[in-house]
Structure 1
Amino acid sequence: MSRQPLRLAILEATSTLREAGVPSPRADAEILAAHVVGVERTRLGLVPLVDAEVIDLYRSLVADRAKRVPLQYLTGSVAIGSVAVEVGPGVFIPRPETELLLGWALATLEARHNAETPQVVMDLCTGSGALALAIAHALPDAVVHAVELDPNALAWARRNADKRAQAGDTPVNLYRGDVTDRDLLGELEGRVDLIVANPPYVPAGAEVEQEVAEHDPAMAVFAGADGLDVIKPMVNNAARWLRIGGAIAVEHDDTNGAQVAELFRSRRVFGDVEQHLDLTGKPRFVVARRVATEAEADRLR
């Protein structure tokens, strides 16, 4: 069979995805095409014709996307910072908004860089390991610890960590654990310079996209009636892990930024509490700094 125009296949795919209600049909059609032919999306124009087998594979992936299988599951990976991590069934897909949290974390670490003392970082609810691995790649002299409760997600994190270590990045220390557990990682008490967390935070019963409802692990998405069942106890753990001057950033639902900020302000060991917005102007993550010991905080009450 003769070769076929890729451009026409992309137009057909765009129409199929639009009819299925996919939010960004043209972009998804192009990303899947680039994945199938093995080029950057911006170079699709350099591939005018492809074999019939390629078209068949492409149409199969488009059909899956039309059923609202996540795009990242179909391509097998997602980029965050300067790294790509593998994702698939059983692990939460990192969102573009988390790039903002990563940017804040890297800027904070770089501003406090001390070549004589490696900075200690924790990534809580690491999922695929995306944040931890992006930090380890950008700052190879940091000591990065990552915690995940779900064994399926942790398996993805280990796979990604092994891949990044083979590529020459600093290894990340992975742990299976509950970030709300008061006894978790007691050996790190008072030693951590920075904590990042993208925990479950969607209020139970909230309406979510079909991809989230049918494919993201529920335990990585929902967190009680107000979305704070994980964040509330996690704040207390952060207080004991952080050294004086250490900082934390926690991603949250766009409906409870003020509540998360108040959780930090109510603990007197924290100061410099700030809310950060995403690119659409919605509250996305809260940052705070540990400014006092528990004894000092008690004297302030």
Structure 2
Amino acid sequence: MSALVEQGTAADRPVTVRTLVERSARILEAARVPDPRVDAELLVGHVLDASRGRVQSLSVTDAPVSAEEAVAIAEVVERRAAREPLQHILGVAWFRTLELSVGPGVFVPRPETESVAQIAIDAVRAVVPADRPPLAVDLGTGSGALALSIASEVPHAEVVGVENSPRAFVWAKENLARTGVQNARLVFADLADALPDLDGRVDVVVSNPPYVPIGAIPRDPEVRLFDPEAALYGGQDGLDVVRRVSATARRLLREGGTVVIEHGELQGESIRALLTADGFRAASTQRDLTGRDRTTTALR
């Protein structure tokens, strides 16, 4: 039996929310999980069907927990201590204003990608009104995080998400239904030859492609052990898929359209050179909220 349960089940020491949160946080800290207290509160809330704020309130009042709930909490804490992604255990990932379904087979959207979404959203909003709505394409949409964020935050735009992984495409379809956005659609296709019917008509192309060089091993076990390899690795220099994104973006974008690409913090210069060589202009790299180079944009 887990120490999380065993140490708190004596008759004279009833198991409480506070006890379980504190012990869960210590277990996760020992496993070197980032933000162990936050994860502990979220995991307890997951089992109790309570928000994190509600868990904090229940902790203050020393609310009791049933034996069955204590066992269930112990089980999810053990999974997290083994470095299974928190989002897989909860079944959701929060991205900007959205709550997305995620799990095995799809890349878990990261907070740093929210700044990429903002740049793409701003570019879509800046489209000068014409005889049609602004048109944006997300190449390699994965869970749909970028495409659905654009669609939900720019409701007058039309958005297309492209994905070629069958498992990821299932998650994207679920999230399209979950969010209820009406101005987005999904296409199952390889990004290299997707959407020929839209050639020269797209206003913004955005992508968070795989960009980790094959020889580089992600530090975090959650990434290394659980994210799909196809969503991580981009060839010897990490830029194989970026090159395909650039070629497809040049084909899809209208004159003056914008391409927005997420990348690693050391790849900005290489991607600016790549886009310039492909005929784009005004290539520029922006930093994320941590001060790291994260996004490169350019104009068709």
Per the normalisation by structure 2, the TM-score is 0.90
Is residue 141–residue 170 contact of structure 1 (8 Å, CA) maintained in 2?
no
Aligned to 2:190: 178
Which residue type is aligned with residue 298 of structure 2? A
Which piece of structure 1 moves more, 119-128 or 35-44?
35-44
Aligned equivalents of 2:49 and 2:211: distance in 1?
36
Which residue type is aligned with residue 199 of structure 2? E
| 1:59 counterpart SS class | helix
Aligned equivalents of 1:10 and 1:69: distance in 2?
18
Aligned equivalents of 1:141 and 1:221: distance in 2?
32
Does residue 280 of the first structure (1) align with residue 290 of the second (2)?
yes
Is residue 273–residue 287 contact of structure 1 (8 Å, CA) maintained in 2?
yes
Does residue 103 of the first structure (1) align with residue 115 of the second (2)?
no
Is residue 265–residue 271 contact of structure 1 (8 Å, CA) maintained in 2?
yes
Shift of 1:37: 2.3
User: Which of 89, 102, 110 lines up with 1:74 in the alignment?
Assistant: 89
Is residue 161–residue 171 contact of structure 1 (8 Å, CA) maintained in 2?
no
The verdict on how the C-alpha distance between 1:188 and 1:60 changes in structure 2, with shifts beyond 3 A counting, is same
Aligned equivalents of 1:106 and 1:55: distance in 2?
43
Aligned to 1:271: 281
Aligned to 1:225: 236
Gaps of 5+ in 2: 1-8
Aligned to 2:202: 192
Aligned to 2:270: 259
Aligned equivalents of 2:50 and 2:160: distance in 1?
34
Aligned to 1:154: 169
Gaps of 5+ in 1: 291-301
Identity score, percent: 39
Which residue type is aligned with residue 62 of structure 1? V
Which residue type is aligned with residue 206 of structure 1? A
| 1:121 counterpart SS class | strand
Q: CA RMSD in A?
A: 1.7
Residue correspondence of structure 1 range 20-31 to structure 2 within 5 A: 20-31=31-42
Shift of 1:171: 4.5
Residue correspondence of structure 1 range 98-177 to structure 2 within 5 A: 98-112=113-127, 114=129, 117-165=132-180, 169-177=181-189
Shift of 1:52: 2.5
Spell out, residue by residue over 1:6-48, the C-alpha distance to the aligned partner (whole angstroms, 9 max, x if none).
1111111111111112122122112212222233323322223
Is residue 127–residue 203 contact of structure 2 (8 Å, CA) maintained in 1?
no
Which residue type is aligned with residue 173 of structure 1? R
Shift of 1:257: 1.4
Shift of 1:172: 2.2
Aligned equivalents of 2:151 and 2:82: distance in 1?
36
Aligned equivalents of 2:235 and 2:56: distance in 1?
48
